[in-house]
Each structure stands twice: as structure tokens, then as C-alpha cells.
Amino acid sequence: MAGQDVLLKVENITKRFGGIVAVDHVSLEVKRGEIISIIGPNGAGKTTVFNMLTGVYEVDEGTIIFRGKEIQNQKPGSIVAAGISRTFQNIRLFSDLRVIENVLIGAHIRTNYHFFQSIFRTKKFRKEEDKVTEEAIRLLKSIDLDHRRDEYASNLPYGEQRKLEIARAIATGACLILLDEPAAGMNPQESAELMEFIYKLRDQGYTILMIEHDMSVVMNVSDRIYVIDHGKPIASGLPREIADNPKVIEAYLGGGQKGA
């Protein structure tokens, strides 16, 4: 784990949908260079937490502090621009676009030209496009996807589609990557490769916050784990502490490991 400075601090965030409290005073802390997992039974509120962190849902109570600044209830685009990006449980690639084009879509949030410069393909537009294309190629090389650069996203094996979705999130310039069940639908070999990939991302300087139902992935890759059940935090700690926690065993592991 690189460094000890706090990158993200979530304090008592709460979300209500009518009379239902979906997330009830959840707090967590992510330090730079950590791999943190959030687990819990189906319907525990994990994706709702992600949606609040990324501006999809408003926060009814509590604060979200990223890089020392409060970001709760900002627009999703502003949160991406601040340095947080995410993937989704169901892969959301542009399947009819090529691999590099999918990455460029993520990168375009950082381009420094306006609409008319793109229409008339001005010198500034061409310079910016050359720059982001070079960065996209460099990114694909760093995650061993450069050989797929010109293939259509739909033609990639499932595990590489997951990597491409993560690459698109990275291309936004984010330093904190939120992964929503990245191992969903993977076989054991693909899950093992995913773990190696997540370690590689951490070694390249990214911080990872992850929702995951695959307990083998969670226990092997996480620095620390937070557990929520029925929207409420019930435990946090090192993987071995979570595995032995009676509340977790009762609420999650003892429930047949049906999913996170």
C-alpha cells in the first residue's frame, strides 16, 4: 500500500427513497494506493453507496470528502472531472466501436476544445486529438490491450471487455476507480487474471474501491473490507478479521454467499 494520506472520506451518508432508508449512516475511508472492498448481501445498499459517491443519487445526510473537498450532490460530470470514475456490474461498452474508440470516449472529458473547433477541425482540435490518441495507446499498452486496439469491443473475450471498461474509466484521468462487481460472470481463470490486473492498477498508482460478490477475489485482493447489511454498516477491517466476524458470518457468509 503506497502512502497513508486519505483520498476519500465518507461520513455518515444516508439515502432515503420515500419511507425506505436504503443507506443508513455509512462511513468509510480510502487511503491513496489502497484496494478497498464493500461487501454485503443482495439489496444491502452497496450500489446505492456507489451512486451517491458518483453523483447519480443525491445524499440526504452526511458528507463525501475527496482530496480534502466536499463533493456530495455534485453533478456526475463534475465528480469525474475531480478524479473519480467507475465501472458497472453490467458491462457498458460501445460494442460497435473499436477498442481505442471506447478509450477515447473516456479521455474526451479532458479535451481542451469547444464544439465549433471540433466541427471545423481547427489546429487546436487536431493537436488535442493527437494528444489524447497517444495517451489512449499508451494506456492500452500499459494494460496489455494494445494488440486489440483496432478490434471491435464486442469481439473481445469477456475478461478483456472488463479490462477495456476499466481502461475507459482510467482514461478520464481519474485516480480513484470504483469497480462495481468486476468479477461478475467470470470463470475462476478470468477471476485470477482480474486480481492480477487490479494489483497492476494499484502498482501504477491508482486507488481502487470495489463492490464484489466473489469472496475469493475480495479476500485475496483487498487491503481492507467494509460490510453493510440492510443499508447499515456492520463491520470493517482486514480480510482475516472480516472472515472471522460473527456479524458478517450471520448476515453474509452464513447466508450461503448468495452475492454482494
The answer to the question of residue 191 being in a domain is yes
Reported in sequence order, the residue ranges of 18-152 that DSSP labels E, i.e. its strands, are: 20-31, 35-39, 61-66, 69-70, 84-86
- Which of 173, 193, 208 represents a domain boundary (last residue)? 173
Of 140, 173, 206, which marks where a domain is finished?
Answer: 173
* Whether residue 220 sits in one domain with residue 183: yes
Asked whether residue 160 falls in the same domain as residue 183, the answer is: no
Whether residues 185 and 156 share a domain: the answer is no
CA 151 to chain centre: 24
Whole-structure pTM value: 0.88
CB 99 within 8 A of CB 114: no
Q: What is the DSSP-derived secondary structure letter of residue 183? A: T
Confirm whether 88 is domain-assigned: no
Same domain, 112 and 169: yes
- Whether residues 201 and 181 fall in one domain: yes
Average pLDDT, stretch 2-14? 86
Whether the CB-CB separation of 127 and 118 falls below 8 Å is answered with no
The answer as to whether 107 is a domain residue is yes
Total domains present in the chain: 2
Could you tell me the sign of the dihedral formed by the alpha carbons of 108, 113, 116, 122, in that order? negative
- The reply to whether 63 falls in a domain is yes
Range of the domain at 150: 94-173
pLDDT of 65-88, one tens digit each? 999 999 999 999 999 999 999 999
Does residue 101 sit in the same domain as residue 213? no
Q: What is the pLDDT of residue 107?
A: 84
**Dist CA 255 CA 16 (whole Å):** 26
The pLDDT, as a whole number, for residue 121 is 61
Mean pLDDT for 225-253 is: 92
The C-alpha cell of 92 is what? 457498458
**Element (DSSP H or E) covering residue 124:** helix 123-142
Residue 98 lies in a domain: yes
Last residue within a domain, chosen from 173, 207, 233: 173
Q: What is the pLDDT of residue 259?
A: 40
State which of 65-79, 95-109, 134-148 shows the largest mean pLDDT. 65-79
What integer pLDDT is reported at residue 149 of this predicted model? 95
Same domain, 154 and 215: no
User: Residue 1 maps to which CATH number?
Assistant: 3.40.50.300
Q: 129: pLDDT confidence band, cut at 50, 70 and 90?
A: confident
Q: How large a percentage of the chain has pLDDT more than 70?
A: 90
Residues 145 and 205 in one domain: no
User: Does residue 73 sit in the same domain as residue 145?
Assistant: no
Has residue 34 got a pLDDT over 80? Answer: yes
Assess whether 32 and 101 both reside in one domain. Answer: no
186 and 79 in a common domain = yes
Q: For residue 96, with 0-12 CB atoms within 10 Å meaning exposed, 13-18 middle and 19 or more buried, which class applies?
A: exposed
